[in-house]
Amino acid sequence: MSTSTGQREGRSQADRSRETRRKLMQATVECLVERGWAGTTTTVVAERAGVSRGAQLHHFRTRGELVAAAVEHLGAESVLDLKERARQVNGSTLAVVELIADFYASDLFTAALELWVAARTDPELKTVVVPLEVRLGRETHRLAVELLNADEAKPGVRETVQLTLDLVRGLALANQLTDDGKRRSRIIRHWARMLEDSL
Amino acid sequence: MSTSTGQREGRSQADRSRETRRKLMQATVECLVERGWAGTTTTVVAERAGVSRGAQLHHFRTRGELVAAAVEHLGAESVLDLKERARQVNGSTLAVVELIADFYASDLFTAALELWVAARTDPELKTVVVPLEVRLGRETHRLAVELLNADEAKPGVRETVQLTLDLVRGLALANQLTDDGKRRSRIIRHWARMLEDSL
């Protein structure tokens, strides 16, 4: 009996810890999107998450650590979400390119952009962000290959997949200050046709 | 005599005023590239430019006004520079796409990126930056059409030119934290071939 209670307590403590982490990461992403890097201080995030400063420090020692973990967490969730959506659409090239473009034109991109730009002029933050950029980049590439059903053994196909990702990154950037949705759809349809001929 | 001296003095005062403006704008771009938006305060810029705070305020009332003017000035200079370079290269599609990609992977892009990202969460700055983004976007599009010798009356050509600009914007972003030069060249060569077939 006592062992079983102990296990239950252990589990629920682990659950609470995970829940605290999740709340902190979610509040961080919301802050990045609403207020940008400058407005995303550990104090603001702890308050928004309803978590004590002590508990926050237990999970994340620095602002950089917290923000990088939040973006990585959102990245992993977004990848799962994208895979789930991909299962639900017809497999047309246009539908897949639209999905990938939507994956970029999202809070994930906005939050990551705040982080990338801040890291450029902050050497300490940069040491956290560069490996994260590499991991997210690899994961996204792998995902695009899978969704487009691309055979990278064929010459030029690897470049075409990368080009797709560079293009949707550029489109996502153009969508930051104003709603570029109409133009974006036109470019995506155009690229989907070129991509179909090319793959 | 006295009129002529007056005109000379008038001219040289105008020259000095232009020179002060130029110094301030150059110092602003250098600050944005080195320290980012947060580090680009009017005090730091005036000090770096060797201009008094009074003279600075005479030319630019706010930080937003100063930074937007600096990015616009650099944009105009970069366009002239790009046109000059374009005259010097052979007119191959690859050479032109490389020029356009270099135009983006520059201090102009880095400074503009700092400004765009800051403007996203700063409504006052945004009112200055959105019209600037529109102007720079139009000018760059016009330039790309001219350099690529593209006939926008043909169906799809307008989209292909825009796609080129979205792509090089995405590539420029990927180059912010780490040197992405090798991969970038490969993608540009690949796109130049597709573009040639398409135009």
Q: At residue A13, does pLDDT exceed 90? A: no
Contact flag A177-B130 (C-beta cutoff 8 Å): yes
- pLDDT tens, A24-34? 999 999 999 99
Q: Give yes or no for B198 touching A (CB within 8 A).
A: yes
pLDDT for res B11: 72
Please tell me the distance from the alpha carbon of residue B167 to that of residue B184, in angstroms, as a whole number. Answer: 10
Listed in sequence order, the residues at least 6 apart from A46 whose beta carbon sits closer than 8 Å to its beta carbon are A24, A27, A52, A53, A56
Residue B199 has pLDDT above 90, yes or no: no
- CB of B120 within 8 Å of any CB in chain A? yes
What pLDDT score does A6 carry?
58
A91-95, A150-154, B1-5, B102-106, range with the lowest pLDDT:
B1-5
pLDDT band of B193, cuts 50, 70, 90: very high
Tell me chain B's radius of gyration from C-alpha atoms: 20
pLDDT value at residue A174? 93
Tell me whether A178 touches chain B (CB under 8 Å).
Answer: yes
Q: Is the pLDDT of residue A9 over 80?
A: no
Q: Summarize the confidence of residues B165-175 as an average pLDDT.
A: 96
Q: What percent of chain B has pLDDT over 70?
A: 95
Domain count, chain B: 1
Mean predicted confidence (pLDDT) in B102-111: 92
Compute CA distances B137 → A93, A180, B68, B71, B134, whole Å.
28, 12, 14, 13, 5
Question: B36–A120: do the CB atoms touch at under 8 Å?
Answer: yes
- pLDDT tens column, A129-142: 999 999 999 999 99
Residue A115: name the closest of A68, A82, A158, A69 by CA: A68
Q: Would you give the DSSP letter of residue B61?
A: S
- pLDDT for B186 beyond 60: yes
The CATH number for A74's domain is 1.10.357.10
> CA–CA separation, A129 vs A118, rounded Å?
10
Residue A117 has φ and ψ, to the nearest 5°, of -65, -40
Instruction: Using a CB–CB cutoff of 8 Å, tell me whether A174 touches chain B.
Output: yes
* Structure-derived torsion over alpha carbons of residues A181, A185, A87, A176, reported in degrees to the nearest 10: -30
Q: Do B34 and A171 touch (CB under 8 A)?
A: no
Concatenate the DSSP letters of all residues of chain A into one string.
-HHHHHHHHHHHHHHHHHHHHHHHHHHHHHHHHHHHHHH--HHHHHHHHT--HHHHHHH-SSHHHHHHHHHHHHHHHHHHHHHHHHHHS---HHHHHHHHHHHHSSHHHHHHHHHHHHHHT-HHHHHHHHHHHHHHHHHHHHHHHHHHT--TTSTTHHHHHHHHHHHHHHHHHHTSSS--HHHHHHHHHHHHHHHHHH-
Residue-range definition of the domain harbouring residue B184: 2-198
Whether A130 sits inside 8 A of B170 (CB atoms) is: no
Flag whether pLDDT at B191 surpasses 90. Answer: yes
B111-169 pLDDT per residue, tens: 999 999 999 999 999 999 999 999 999 999 999 999 999 999 999 999 999 999 999 99
* Residue B185, pLDDT above cutoff 90: yes
The tens digit of pLDDT for each residue in A120-169 reads 999 999 999 999 999 999 999 999 999 999 999 999 999 999 999 999 99
> What is the amino acid identity at position A108?
L
> Which residues of A, range 25-64, sit inside 8 Å of B by Cβ?
34-36, 38-39
Asked if B121 lies within 8 A of A176 by C-beta distance, the reply is no
A1: confidence class by pLDDT, cuts 50, 70, 90: very low
What is the radius of gyration, based on Cα positions, of chain A? 20
Length of chain A: 199
Q: How much is the pLDDT for B89?
A: 83
Which residues does B37 contact at the CB level (< 8 Å), separation at least 6?
A: B67, B114, B115, B117, B118
Confirm if B68 and B124 have CB atoms less than 8 A apart.
no
pLDDT for residue A176 is more than 50: yes
Task: Name the band, by pLDDT with cuts 50, 70 and 90, for residue B1.
Answer: very low
Average per-residue pLDDT for chain B? 91
3-class secondary structure per residue, B67-116? HHHHHHHHHHHHHHHHHHHHHHCCCCHHHHHHHHHHHHCCHHHHHHHHHH
Cα dihedral A62, A66, A71, A72 in deg (nearest 10):
90
Q: CA–CA separation, B162 vs A191, rounded Å?
A: 11
Confidence (pLDDT) at B90: 75
Rounded mean pLDDT of B17-44? 95
Measured CA to CA, the distance from residue A171 to residue A109 in angstroms comes to: 11
pLDDT at B31 over 50: yes
ipTM of the complex: 0.90
User: 3-state DSSP call for residue B32?
Assistant: helix
Residues A69-104 pLDDT 10s:
999 999 999 999 998 988 888 779 999 999 999 999
